[in-house]
Amino acid sequence: MSEQPGPFGVRRAGVLLHVTSLPSGDLGDDAFGFVDFLADAGCSVWQVLPLVPTHEEDRSPYNSLSSMAGNPELISDARREQPDNATLADWCAQHRDWLEPYVEFVALRELQGGTKWWTWEPGLRDRDPNAVTRALAPVVDRVVELKREQWQFARQWQRLREHAAEKGVLFFGDLPIFVSLDSADVWAHRELFLLDERGQPITVTGCPPDYFAEDGQRWNNPHYDWDAMAADGYDWWRRRIARQRELFDLVRIDHFRGFEAAWHIPADAPTARDGKWVEAPGAEVLAALIDEAGTGTLVAEDLGVITPEVDALRTSFRLPGMKVLQFAFDGALDNPYLPVNHDELSVVYTGTHDNDTTVGWWASIDERTRTQAASHLIDPDEEMPGALVRLAMQSTARLAVVPAQDLLALGSESRMNTPGTETGNWSWQAPPDAFDEELAARLRAVVGEAGRQ
């Protein structure tokens, strides 16, 4: 592989741990301590899930009130700072394009008792400026508070990034390709989505039947009106990726294949089985994203139904793909997740936030799969999950990322998410003092053996 710019210029190791999974669940001392742990363990990448404000019902970071705002629940009370009026005003002006719709949307949503925006009276539903101004006049203090929350989040994240930079640790973020229907994004930019006159989707997102769900998955996001987006050179996407690069050194594009073609499910269809693939202008969108984000900063989540066209789109832009070892051992020699089939322009994982932990996975697979796995391990006698962690680190992939649950040898009870289910997800937190010196030393040895940093 020719030399890659930026983070992929060297072999790196990282850990996947969402901020909510820290013992404190916020950007306080535990977050700073985890950066120190990574540095002590010889790792230079901290991968997180989207940092966006979530819906009350499911708390999923992939179903947010805004694709660009920060989650105020991540703010550490102990590290709060008070901006002066000029500082706050300057920051708000710089982020006006996403901040104004967000604070209006949240304040109105609160006034409407948390109901969906498309059920609001027409003036508010359609974001008529006069109607919005009249409705928000009695709660102007709340609007200012919402802006101050976003400044506070940005300030604490900036402090954490500065600390990470001092320790040589990069942040690896996650950009869901689609956005929630009940979001400031759709409310403020209905013209960019395939909606009817009432603001309802004509078709919704999802994926066909696969490893995770026999009926496929119905995600219920609205689809983009790509023609409308093309008219201004994909400005919304440019602003979105620019916001992500404010926060992260690397950005994973979740469901990358949706840029080549997306699964369109009729809004009234009972399951995702009734959908069909509809082509998207992937090359045009990616050209705009890379122009804004810079080369060597994006990663494609290319799991699931991947066609030659999707591979060609990814490779034409030199984007690293993903290799998940839990998918590798079906006995097929051409399995792309087998270590012998990895290429350098990849990110290798034991599993992701959508998989069972490696301990849980190992307990659930049959003897044939175990035998297949053992034949590829560095040391077949090494116990799980350490054996799979070592295999990931030894991969030719430039970046190896291990979920924190696998470092801690935790079982299925610590799984982060089970796709296709609506309860019991996104709630796992590491126990206090889990990331100690002994664990750092063990990880540092495995990372060092693999020539990573």
Q: Give the mean model confidence (pLDDT) for residues 344-368.
A: 97
pLDDT, tens digit (0-9, with 9 covering 90-100), for 245-301: 999 999 999 999 999 999 999 999 999 999 999 999 999 999 999 999 999 999 999
Reported as a pLDDT band with limits 50, 70 and 90, residue 113 is very high
Q: Give the mean model confidence (pLDDT) for residues 116-130.
A: 97
Three-state SS at 174: strand
The confidence score (pLDDT) of residue 212 equals 67
Q: From CA 286, how far away is CA 251, in angstroms rounded?
A: 13
64 close to 52: Cβ distance less than 8 angstroms = yes
For the chain, give every domain's residue range. Answer: 6-64+170-180+193-449
CA 175 to chain centre: 5
The confidence score (pLDDT) of residue 217 equals 86
**Residue 4 pLDDT > 70:** no
The confidence score (pLDDT) of residue 214 equals 84
Amino acid identity, residue 169?
Answer: V
Reported as a pLDDT band with limits 50, 70 and 90, residue 1 is very low
pLDDT, tens digit (0-9, with 9 covering 90-100), for 203-220: 999 988 877 678 888 889
Reported as a pLDDT band with limits 50, 70 and 90, residue 101 is very high
Residue numbers annotated as active site: 254, 301, 354
Contacts with 332 (C-beta within 8 Å, 6 or more apart), sequence order: none
pLDDT, tens digit (0-9, with 9 covering 90-100), for 277-293: 999 999 999 999 999 99
pLDDT, tens digit (0-9, with 9 covering 90-100), for 12-29: 999 999 999 999 999 999
Reported as a pLDDT band with limits 50, 70 and 90, residue 3 is low
Q: Which two tokens stand for residue 15?
A: 């850990």
**Residue 89 pLDDT > 50:** yes
Return the exposure string of 79-110: e unless at least 16 CB atoms fall within 10 Å of the residue's CB, then b: beeebeeeebeebbeebeebbebbbbbbbbbe
CATH class of 6-64+170-180+193-449: alpha beta
Q: Nearest-CA neighbor of 144 among 95, 107, 90, 184?
A: 107
Q: Nearest-CA neighbor of 307 among 315, 299, 298?
A: 315
* Cα Rg of the chain (Å, integer): 22
The pTM for the full model equals 0.96
- Hunting for tokens 């901040």 — which residue is that? 99
Contacts with 134 (C-beta within 8 Å, 6 or more apart), sequence order: none
Q: From CA 435, how far away is CA 453, in angstroms rounded?
A: 18
Q: From CA 253, how far away is CA 266, in angstroms rounded?
A: 25
Q: Which two tokens stand for residue 130?
A: 């006069």
Reported as a pLDDT band with limits 50, 70 and 90, residue 2 is very low
Q: Give the mean model confidence (pLDDT) for residues 132-150.
A: 98
Residue 31 has φ and ψ, to the nearest 5°, of -65, -45
Q: Which two tokens stand for residue 96?
A: 């006006």
The confidence score (pLDDT) of residue 422 equals 82
Q: Give the mean model confidence (pLDDT) for residues 427-448.
A: 98
